[in-house]
Every structure is written in structure tokens, then in C-alpha cells.
Chains A and B, each alone.
Chain A
Amino acid sequence: MSRIELLKGTLDLLVLRVLQSGPMHGFGIAQKIHLLSAEALRIEEGSLYPAVYRMERKGWIEAEWGVSENNRRAKFYHLTKAGRKQLVAEQATWKRLTDAVGQVLAKAD
């Protein structure tokens, strides 16, 4: 399956959603999105890290150094309260958007 260009702003949503299930490091986030999307989405590091740092600055996620599953040092990100709120809001927005786009696609001739 060929790779899909992410819509602007969707990356934040994906990262937040992935982090909902627990703390994760940058590589893990990218990996998980890759896997969950059935390998359709590949998050470039060049987009991932700026997005992560931006979300960190906005206070949606926080970071902590830890040890990864295969005993490597890694920086783990977890959702904050604000991050959870943001996730809910973005999910709702996403839902509205896809519903609307779906409706247009279904009804327009």
C-alpha cells in the first residue's frame, strides 16, 4: 500500500491518541502509528519531533527520560490533563470533519 500524506493537524491527533494508552518514546510513537495504520502511515522524524516539542510547549504532553523495553535510554512522553482534554476535542473535530466529508462524497453527483 502506498504511503498517504497526512492532513495538516492530524499528526497531533494521532500522537495524542497513541499516547492515551500509556507513556511512549518517540520511536515507539512513530512505530505504533505505522503499525496501527496497517503500514499506511509513516511518520518522518522531521515532522514527528517538531510536533512533539510543540505539543510539549503547549502543555499537552510531558516527557521523562526512562529505559525502553530493550534496555535503552529513551525519552518517554505521556499525556497531561490538558492533553486528554485536547484529545477529546480533536477527536470530536475529526469526527465532525470526516462525517461532513463522507456526506459530501456520498451525496454529490
Chain B
Amino acid sequence: MNLFKVLSHAIKSVFRRDQVDADMIEEMRCHREAQIESNLAAGLTPTEATRAANRQFGRIDAIAEEGREARGFAWLNHLQQDLRYGLKMLLKHKGFTVVAVMTLGLGLSVNITIFSLVDILFFQPLEVKDPHRLMVMTRDDPKNQLSSSISWADYEDYRDNVPGLENAIASLLRPVHLSWAGQQAQRNWVSNVSSSYFKTLGARAHIGRLWLPGEGEKTGIDPIMVLSFSYWRDRLGSDANVVGRTVAVNGQTFEVIGVAAEKFNGDQWGIGAAGWVPATMIPALYHWGETVFTDRTWSSFRVSGYLAPGYDIERVGAELAVVDQRIASLPGAGSMDGVVTRLVSESRSRPDPSVSGFLPLAAAVFLALGLMILLIACANVANLLFARAASRQRELGIRAAVGASRGRLTRQLLTESLLLAVIAGVVGWGLSYVAAAGLENLSPGGDVPIATEAVEGSPWTMVFAVAMSLLAGVVTGLLPALRATRVDLQQVIKGGVCGRGARRQWMRNTLVVSQIAFCVIVLVAGGLFVRSLQQAARMDLGFSPENLAMASLDLDLQGYSHEHGFAFLDQLTENLAALPGVESVAYGNVLPLGNSPGLRAVADAAAAKLDESGRREGEIQAASNIVDVNFIATMQMGLLRGRLFNEFDTLDSPRVVIVNEALAEKLWPGEDPLDHQLIMRSGEPMEVIGVVRTGKYVMISESPRPAYLEAYAQAYNAPITLFVRTYNEPAQILPGMRAILQRLDRDLPIFNAQTMAEHLRTTPFGLMPLRMAAFISGAQGIVGLLLAIMGVYAVVAYSVSQRTREIGIRLALGAERRDVFQIVVAGGLRLIVIGLGGGLVVSLGLSHVLAGLLVGLDPLDLPVFGGVTVGLTVVSLLACYIPARRAMAVDPAVTLKYE
């Protein structure tokens, strides 16, 4: 049959069903009449003829039903019927519908929210050519607990000597001050990229052009810039004449040659830079000298490239190792002991390759927890359906009696639960927007530009939502439907449904036990995340973060000379200190737990030099900072030995340094650090004048890290962060700080103007990831608990209502009401204890997994496990209490009479 006929047939059987049915009935009628006629012709009396025809024909309606099936597309008819019927049922039982939809909706929204995060983090391809082949290079260095980037010189070696990595490109994201003619300078981030960058990534220009061959290859001769589409649109109002305009980048004149295509955001996921300049312009832009291209310890470039055909990551890793070996033997190379350079696929490197091992595990944990919540919700609704199936026995029995098959009835019930689930999916989708708004408050703060395009949802989330809703519908509805349709006609017609309660109760008990078990797991996970957040928040940062306001600025980018800069800073601190409510003011070069960790190689100045690069025996990586004389006091770092910096530490006096305990312990174990001198790769030996306690420098989760402080007067370094210690709420001082900065230099861009508490909360290196985890898992825990309690209550209440007669008899036979109460509660308690036991065992396994992820987490955290056990027991018992009270109130006379 051709397609047209199939379609017309289908349409006819669905939309003109009444006519088709009538047709069929008419045909049967004709047939019967013909039969009667023929019987008459054979000599039967009219009555006999009719009766014989009827007997032979059987039940017309049964034939009609079979006929409908045979016509095909019966399922479409059925679906239509089922949907209409299901909707009618849902509308009729509004209370049930609302509870079921909200329950499933909550469960689904948790899953949709988590999946949308996972989707953004792992599945959204980067807008580049062949995104799935794009690899990012990363170096694991056991010495600094951090994976590091690559130096330009190393990049060139990899680019030229690793055949498994095609078209390696390098980029360096840096803040700059962009100023357009006639406008105030703005702080923005640009990516400094290697010459083949755009071509390799397959980027196109929206207007103008990108690098031409030969551009960006020789140092300092190509002052050209390509703008990103979003910067061009948002900051320049989509100026069509922008190509050919000039812009001052850190005071250097650059020509805009083009705007990149709308979606192109470079090689780094989630980053929305203002534009791209050739890496060859780095010396001109940042005054670093051309050594940035030769110094192998200057490892700041992000290196990406495409996996060559026929290669896998391991094979390229082997080639990288060969190059690393050669690099290690070169003079001037950093220490390569234990260093492993490897490739990570771009989609696995988000948000940063350094956490690429950690995130998939975290995502899996959260997805699993989300699924458990959905299962709790499904079990709840399944329970409701069980209860309802009992009350629908009659209806189903009658339908079965008039010829509906079991499959047909099951389909009907399944359609109803699917309908519920789909409505719940819509509700869940809406709720996930609420959750997303909550998560937005937790997104990383700080100075680095986020590409907003990257954090938008995708169609995959929609697909996921639909799939999960359907799954939930089937999971919820299948068992109750199968059970409900196993109808015993005799029993239904007789009017009583009894004797089968035990098995159904068993089913419901199993559901509630698993609910409680899942709930325990979700609650324990939530509790562990919250504990870990608490512990991280209590961690000794090495300074006191309360009542501290801050703001960052970069005088270099604004073209200040050293003398001018010193004068500006003196004036600035003087003015700030004069603000009311200010206790003290200080500034330092590195912001703790900020974007620029400031790691440097240092050694005991007395140790033997290994080569002319300045590498010495026993060299270690330490977090550095350059601070003014008030810094240690203002930050309340706690000087353990020696003295603070003072105004006599100048360029003309001996160089001095203050170290932390961890550094002293590492370089001079058991000795007095004040007897020693510290030295960097380049520079003079610095006399250790003091020791401060060890804090947190790069990441909140780091183990004790060596660190040292230089005196600002001896090591001017322009990018600084101001720290203002206040007597009261530090946020109140921020407007005053801004006003003063504005007055002293109207054009100076300021960033990170916030309180220290806010910085710690939002920085991705501080509490942000933990807060995010605690928020999600905490919300999961609350939803799970709510659902599980509902489940316990429903099951206990149902069992009481089923046992009213039994209770009545017991009471009539002289049982105390107290005994009845105990029986009911004991029944509930049994389920709770079994569920708790099972849940706790699984949670123990989970907490061992989490302990690998979380800061200072004891996998046997007593408050969490104890709290969850006690809390869940108490709340579940409360859920039993109300039905138990109802059982106590049973009046034996009434119950028995009714039965």
C-alpha cells in the first residue's frame, strides 16, 4: 500500500472513527439479516431463524472490538481514548494530580538543573573547527600542587617536534587597558595568540579580516587587533566602520583589522575576551622584555592543537615525554623532576585542565544523587497509584468484563502515569529556572571575563528533560498498572476486595524502604558537602578576612613610571586611611586565592648554583607576594619571629624577605630561618627578617605551601590590590574608596572592588566550588527528605486505613488503644530501620569517594551520619504519628457495623 493510502487510512481510523465504527456495525447488521433470510429459506420459523443467527453471530461488540484491532491504527484510537480518559481522570482527582505532579516535578527539576550544568561543562562543543579533536596541553607538577601552563620556548619545541599534535597554537589571556579616542580607558582582557591561531581554529571574520599569512610572526611589528563579536556589539554598538580605527592598548596604538564571527570565542571555553592581538606584541604591551619568548620558566601560555589522524592521547603523551626529556637537559629549563606533560581533550579541560580529573567524578556523583531523588519521587507517586488502583478496582473490573484486554487496561493506566509525568516535566522545567537563578548567585566572581553565550542551555537539556519525564512515567506507572490490571472479575462483581492486600502492602513497603535508603544517601552527601564547606570556611587563611575591603588596580597598564607610581600609592593610602571607619590600609602585589598565583622558584642563597639560569640545589616553588610596610599588620597575619618591614627597607638597604613557616620548615628544617638568606632565580640574596604563619595562597584546598613576602619599596610591581581594614561592615567603605581613586586618577580602571568575604565566597580558588556543591546537594537533600517523609506518611496512613477492621476487632476484643498505637508505629519503624540500614551502608561507600574530592573531609564524619540517622528517624516517626493517632481513634462499633 502506498504512503498516501496508509495516511488516509490512519486519518480515517482516528478522526472519522465514529463513521468507521458505524460502518462496521452496519455491515454486521446486514450480515445478520442475510443470515436470518438464509435460515428462513432453509425452512426455519422466523423466531428460530433469528435465534440461530444471533447464536452464531455471538457478541457483536466483541467482534467490533476485534475488528477495530484488525483495522490497524487501533493503537492510535486507543491512545486518543486513553489520553482523553486519562485527562478526565486527572481533572476529576485534582488533589491527587497536584500532589503527583509536584512530586515528580521536584524530582525532575533537580535532574534537569544538574544535567544542564553537566551539558554546559562537558557536552557543548567549542565554536571551532573539529571541536572534538581539539586538545589542550597541561603539565602536572607535583612540586606546586597545580598543573601549569607552558612557556613559549617549550611551546615552539612541542609545535615542531610532536607529530601527534597538529598545528599547535598558543594563547595568553591578559588584562589590558583599552582606550578608544575620546573615551576613558577600560580594563579588558585580550588573548595574545600565535600567528596560526585563527587559521588553525577555522575562525572567520564577521567584518574585516583576521591575521594574514606572515602577520604575528616577528616580534613587535604587527600592532593589529581582532575584536570579539560580543565586545564589538556591546561596547561599540556594532559600529560598522570599526575596521581601520585605532585603539590604545596599554597606551600602544593598535589598528582594528576585523571582528570575529559571532560565535567564535577563541580556544578557551567560557572565556569572553574583548579581542585578540598577536603574541609577538607581548613585549611591547607589557614591558616584559623579549625574554618571555626564551625563558623556559615563564610558563603562562595555554597550548592547544589537534590530535593528528591515527594518534590517541597516550601516543602523543609518549612523544611529549621525549621532548620533555630534551627540555630537562637544556640550560635554563625549570626543574622537570616528576613533571608530566599531557593532552586533555578540550571538552574535558573545562573550566581548566587542572581540574579535568576531578570534574567528571563530581558530575557523576551529582547526577547519581539527582537520579536517586527522582526515584524517591517515582516511588512516592507509585505508592499513590497503588492506593488509587485499589479504589479503581471496580472500574477496571467492569471494563475487563465488557471485553477490554489486560494489555489494553495496562496501557490505559500507563498512559495516565505518562500524562502525569509529562505535566510534571513541564513543571520541573519551570522549577529548574528557579534553581538556575539560585545558582547564578553562586557563579564565579572575580575579574576574568565570562562568555555568557557559553552558559546558556542547549536543546540537549530539553531532550534530557523529555526522556527523563517519560522514564519517570514508566517507572512510576508500570508496576501499579500491572498489579491493578490483574483483576479478579468474580471478586469485583461480588463487591469486596480483600485477601490481596498483603501482597500489595509488601510492594508498598519495599518502595518506602528504598525511598528511605535513597533519602539517607542524598542527605549524607548533602551533609558532607555542607561540612566540607564549613571546614573550608573555618580554615586558617593566614590572615583575618573579616572587616576587610579590597580593590585592585594596575598602574603599569596606565603607563605610570615607578616614581610616579610610588607617589600615587603614598597619596592613595594616606587618603584612604583618612576615611572614617578605617583602621588601617595596605597593599600587595598578589591577591590571595586570586587568578594570578605568583608562584616562583626560590632556594637557600647559600646552595650551589646548578647552571647560569640561577637554578640552585634544593630549589622549591613558593607563593610570592610583594607588600607594603603595613601589609602584615593590616592583614593580621601574625608575625611569629623577627620583625616587620619598615620604612628603612629601601632600594639602598640590604634586600629583606619575610617567609612563612612552611618555607622555613622546607628549606631550613630545625634551624633558625633568621640566620639564612633566600634567593630567587634572578636577583640578590634576601635576608630573612621574619616568619609568619602559613596560610592559603593559591587554592583553599592546598596543603601547607611555602610562601614569602618581599618589601614593595625594594621590588616595585605595578598591579596591586588595596586592602582596607575597617571597624565596621567593610562594604560601607567601598563607595568612599572608589571616590578617592576617581579623584586621584579619573581614568584609572578599578576591579575587584568588594569585601574580602565576598572575594572568598566567589573566587573559583576559594569557597565558590564548595558553595556550589553544598547548595546543590543541600537542595537535593531537602527535596529528598520532603519526598521520603511524604512516602512514609502515605504508606503508614494507607496501612492504617486498610487495617481499620482489624484494629476494630482488636479493640472490641479488649486491646488497649495504646497497644494499637504501638502496633502502627512499630510497623512504620520497621520500614524506617531497614531503609536507614541499607542507606547508611551505601553512604559509607559514597563518603569514601567524596573524601577524595573534598577538603578535610572525614569519611566517617560522625555529626553527618549521626545527624542524618537521628533526624530521619525522628521525622519519619512523626510521619507515623498522625496515622497512629487516627488508628487509636477507631471506634470498634462503627467499623464492624460498616464492614
On A, residues with C-beta under 8 Å from B are 25-27, 31, 44-46, 49-54, 56-59, 68, 70, 72-75, 82
Are A57 and B72 in contact (CB-based, < 8 A)? yes
Are B67 and A50 in contact (CB-based, < 8 A)? yes
Specify which chain A residues have a CB less than 8 angstroms from the CB of B640 in the assembled complex: none
How close is B160's CB to chain A, nearest CB, in angstroms?
69
Asked whether B31 is an interface residue with its Cβ less than 8 Å from the other chain, the reply is yes
Asked whether B62 is an interface residue with its Cβ less than 8 Å from the other chain, the reply is yes
Are B67 and A53 in contact (CB-based, < 8 A)? yes
Asked whether B758 is an interface residue with its Cβ less than 8 Å from the other chain, the reply is no
Contact A54 B1, CB 8 Å, known A27-B35, A44-B56, A46-B58:
no
Specify which chain A residues have a CB less than 8 angstroms from the CB of B35 in the assembled complex: 27
Are A57 and B70 in contact (CB-based, < 8 A)? yes
CB within 8 A of B58: which of A45, A51, A54, A73? Answer: A45
Are A50 and B70 in contact (CB-based, < 8 A)? yes
Contact A56 B71, CB 8 Å, known A45-B57, A70-B37:
yes
How close is A63's CB to chain B, nearest CB, in angstroms?
9
**Apart from A45-B63, A73-B26, A73-B30: 11 A-B pairs, beta carbons within 8 A:** A26-B30, A27-B30, A27-B38, A46-B62, A49-B28, A49-B66, A52-B70, A53-B67, A54-B70, A72-B34, A75-B30
CA gap between A73 and B31 in the complex, in Å: 10
CA gap between A70 and B33 in the complex, in Å: 11
How close is B60's CB to chain A, nearest CB, in angstroms?
9
Specify which chain B residues have a CB less than 8 angstroms from the CB of A31 in the assembled complex: 38
Are A26 and B27 in contact (CB-based, < 8 A)? yes
How close is B756's CB to chain A, nearest CB, in angstroms?
76
How close is A72's CB to chain B, nearest CB, in angstroms?
6
CB within 8 A of A74: which of B24, B34, B70, B71? Answer: B34
Interface 0/1 of B28-46, CB less than 8 Å to A: 1011011101100000000
Contact A57 B71, CB 8 Å, known A44-B58, A45-B56, A46-B66:
yes
Specify which chain A residues have a CB less than 8 angstroms from the CB of B28 in the assembled complex: 45, 49
Specify which chain A residues have a CB less than 8 angstroms from the CB of B37 in the assembled complex: 70
Interchain residue pairs with CB less than 8 A apart (21): A26-B27, A27-B34, A27-B38, A31-B38, A45-B56, A46-B58, A49-B28, A49-B63, A49-B70, A50-B66, A51-B70, A53-B24, A59-B1, A68-B30, A68-B34, A70-B37, A72-B33, A73-B30, A74-B34, A75-B23, A82-B1
Asked whether B729 is an interface residue with its Cβ less than 8 Å from the other chain, the reply is no
Are B58 and A53 in contact (CB-based, < 8 A)? no
In the complex, which residue of chain B has the Cβ closest to the Cβ of A70? Answer: B37
How close is B866's CB to chain A, nearest CB, in angstroms?
66
In the complex, which residue of chain A has the Cβ closest to the Cβ of B2? Answer: A59
Specify which chain A residues have a CB less than 8 angstroms from the CB of B31 in the assembled complex: 25-27, 45
Specify which chain B residues have a CB less than 8 angstroms from the CB of A44 in the assembled complex: 56, 58
CA gap between A58 and B5 in the complex, in Å: 10
CA gap between A53 and B72 in the complex, in Å: 8
Contacting residues of chain B (35-88) with chain A, CB-CB under 8 angstroms: 35, 37-38, 56-58, 62-63, 66-67, 69-72
Asked whether B9 is an interface residue with its Cβ less than 8 Å from the other chain, the reply is yes
CA gap between A106 and B557 in the complex, in Å: 106
Are B69 and A50 in contact (CB-based, < 8 A)? yes
CA gap between A45 and B30 in the complex, in Å: 12
CA gap between A89 and B405 in the complex, in Å: 34
CA gap between A26 and B69 in the complex, in Å: 18
Contacting residues of chain B (1-36) with chain A, CB-CB under 8 angstroms: 1, 5, 9, 23-24, 26-28, 30-31, 33-35
Q: Is the interface of B mostly helix, strand, loop or mixed?
A: helix
CB within 8 A of B9: which of A51, A57, A75, A82? Answer: A57
Are A25 and B67 in contact (CB-based, < 8 A)? no
CA gap between A27 and B28 in the complex, in Å: 9
Are B63 and A74 in contact (CB-based, < 8 A)? no
CA gap between A4 and B34 in the complex, in Å: 24
CA gap between A7 and B77 in the complex, in Å: 31
Specify which chain A residues have a CB less than 8 angstroms from the CB of B23 in the assembled complex: 75
Are A53 and B34 in contact (CB-based, < 8 A)? no
Specify which chain B residues have a CB less than 8 angstroms from the CB of A73 in the assembled complex: 26, 30
Query: Which of A26, A49, A52 gathers the greatest number of chain B CB atoms within 10 Å?
Result: A49
CA gap between A72 and B57 in the complex, in Å: 19
Specify which chain B residues have a CB less than 8 angstroms from the CB of A72 in the assembled complex: 30, 33-34
Specify which chain B residues have a CB less than 8 angstroms from the CB of A82 in the assembled complex: 1
CA gap between A27 and B35 in the complex, in Å: 7
Specify which chain B residues have a CB less than 8 angstroms from the CB of A74 in the assembled complex: 27, 30, 34
How close is B669's CB to chain A, nearest CB, in angstroms?
89
How close is A62's CB to chain B, nearest CB, in angstroms?
10
CA gap between A54 and B71 in the complex, in Å: 5
How close is A107's CB to chain B, nearest CB, in angstroms?
39
Specify which chain B residues have a CB less than 8 angstroms from the CB of A27 in the assembled complex: 30-31, 34-35, 38
CA gap between A54 and B24 in the complex, in Å: 13
CA gap between A25 and B31 in the complex, in Å: 8
CA gap between A68 and B24 in the complex, in Å: 17
How close is B67's CB to chain A, nearest CB, in angstroms?
5
In the complex, which residue of chain B has the Cβ closest to the Cβ of A45? Answer: B57
Query: Which of B26, B62, B63 gathers the greatest number of chain A CB atoms within 10 Å?
Result: B63
How close is A16's CB to chain B, nearest CB, in angstroms?
16
Specify which chain A residues have a CB less than 8 angstroms from the CB of B33 in the assembled complex: 72
Are A53 and B71 in contact (CB-based, < 8 A)? yes
CA gap between A42 and B28 in the complex, in Å: 17
CA gap between A61 and B870 in the complex, in Å: 73
CA gap between A29 and B215 in the complex, in Å: 88
How close is A39's CB to chain B, nearest CB, in angstroms?
12
In the complex, which residue of chain B has the Cβ closest to the Cβ of A52? Answer: B70
How close is B16's CB to chain A, nearest CB, in angstroms?
15
CA gap between A82 and B1 in the complex, in Å: 8
How close is A53's CB to chain B, nearest CB, in angstroms?
4
CA gap between A45 and B57 in the complex, in Å: 6
Are B67 and A49 in contact (CB-based, < 8 A)? yes
Query: Which of A50, A70, A75 gathers the greatest number of chain B CB atoms within 10 Å?
Result: A50
Query: Which of A31, A52, A57, A58 gathers the greatest number of chain B CB atoms within 10 Å?
Result: A57
Specify which chain A residues have a CB less than 8 angstroms from the CB of B24 in the assembled complex: 49, 53
CA gap between A39 and B48 in the complex, in Å: 21
Query: Which of B34, B57, B71, B72 gathers the greatest number of chain A CB atoms within 10 Å?
Result: B34
CA gap between A49 and B67 in the complex, in Å: 6
